[in-house]
């Protein structure tokens, strides 16, 4: 079945992986609701660029820490497009710090954006998917949904939670032609990774080059960063007919990290 004319809402799609998925989806003719923070002019340019691929794209700046903004975003997307067919819960942030110094406010924000926002978007969008008789929920997880690294307590806890949520929703909607899966990338070179290099260097007392080679890519046996395009390709695959019976699971793309 062609995906042309379907609508996807992708949280956190003004940058990195989310923007990459938006671009891959637009190339398949999927209309988009993009979301995330950033400079308004830059976001508008990205929106126009996506629209130039021949689809309709609206931007919604809902804050993923605010449930009422999330619900309003889903409602206005449904008013605009009739239905959300594909929901990609992608927004996420990171904070790197030993537990003794980990700020409570960072813990709460990471849990809200990286985990609880998926609950709110899914809760709001699932009725429309059920009515339409087709849907795809894709939760951007991480290798850190399966294994831990020190100094990332909130992120690792939230991503483990995302996998539990993914399995639960998959069972609840299994007979409605809706699948719910997670993607677990290793390190993808996006602003999220770039921005944690200095803090990781400080937390571990090493140089930034050492962070890249001895920490980030240490566990990635291919010694390559995963690319945004590779993650976007997996998201598209999960929307295909071939993936109809793939549900309640995660697809790992981590260069061998969690195999070791």
The structure tokens listed for 229 are 């395009």
* Binding-site size, ligand NAD (CB under 6 A): 30
Tell me if 8 contacts ligand NAD by CB under 6 A.
no
Of positions 82, 98, 150, 191, contacts ligand NAD by CB under 6 A = 191
Residue in 6, 9, 10, 16 binding ligand NAD, rule: CB under 6 A: 16
- Rule CB under 6 A: say whether 18 interacts with ligand NAD: yes
As beta bridge partners, residue 140 has 183
Question: Which 115-154 positions form the footprint of ligand NAD (CB under 6 A)?
Answer: 140, 142
Q: How far is the CB of 251 from ligand NAD (least distance, A)?
A: 12
- Residue 185 lies near ligand NAD (rule: CB under 6 A): yes
Per the annotation, the verdict on 155 as an active-site residue is yes
256 lies in the site for ligand NAD, by CB under 6 A: no
6's CB contacts (< 8 A; 6+ apart) are 29, 30, 31, 85, 86, 239
- CA-to-CA distance for 10 and 24, rounded, in angstroms? 12
> Helix or strand or coil: residue 253?
strand
**Residue of 160, 120, 154 lying closest to 258 (CA atoms):** 160
Tell whether the torsion through CA atoms of 171, 179, 241 and 2 is positive or negative.
positive
* Min CB(89)–ligand NAD separation in Å: 8
Q: 3-state DSSP call for residue 187? A: coil
* Binding region for ligand NAD (CB under 6 A): 11-18, 35-38, 63-65, 90-93, 113-114, 140, 142, 185, 187-188, 190-193
Task: Just list the catalytic residues.
Answer: 155
């Amino acid at each position: 079945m062609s995906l042309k004319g379907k609508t996807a809402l992708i949280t956190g799609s003004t940058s990195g992986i989310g923007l990459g998925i938006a671009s891959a989806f637009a190339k398949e003719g999927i209309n988009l609701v993009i979301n995330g923070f950033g400079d308004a002019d830059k976001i508008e340019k990205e929106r126009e660029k996506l629209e130039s691929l021949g689809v309709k794209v609206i931007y919604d700046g809902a804050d993923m820490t605010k449930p009422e903004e999330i619900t309003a975003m889903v409602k206005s997307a449904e008013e605009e497009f009739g239905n959300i067919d594909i929901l990609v819960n992608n927004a996420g942030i990171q904070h790197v710090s030993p537990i003794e110094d980990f700020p409570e406010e960072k813990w709460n924000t990471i849990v809200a954006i990286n985990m609880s926002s998926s609950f709110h978007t899914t809760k709001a969008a699932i009725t429309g998917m059920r009515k339409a008789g087709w849907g795809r929920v894709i939760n951007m997880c991480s290798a850190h949904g399966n294994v831990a690294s020190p100094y990332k307590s909130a992120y690792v806890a939230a991503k483990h939670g995302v996998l539990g949520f993914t399995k639960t929703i998959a069972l609840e909607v299994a007979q409605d032609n809706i699948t719910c899966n997670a993607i677990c990338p290793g390190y993808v070179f996006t602003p999220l990774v770039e921005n944690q290099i200095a803090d990781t260097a400080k937390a571990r007392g090493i140089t930034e080059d050492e962070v890249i080679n001895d920490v980030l890519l240490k566990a990635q046996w291919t010694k390559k960063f995963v690319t945004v395009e590779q993650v976007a390709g997996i998201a598209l695959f999960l929307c295909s007919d071939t993936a109809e019976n793939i549900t309640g699971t995660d697809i790992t793309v981590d260069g061998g990290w969690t195999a070791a």
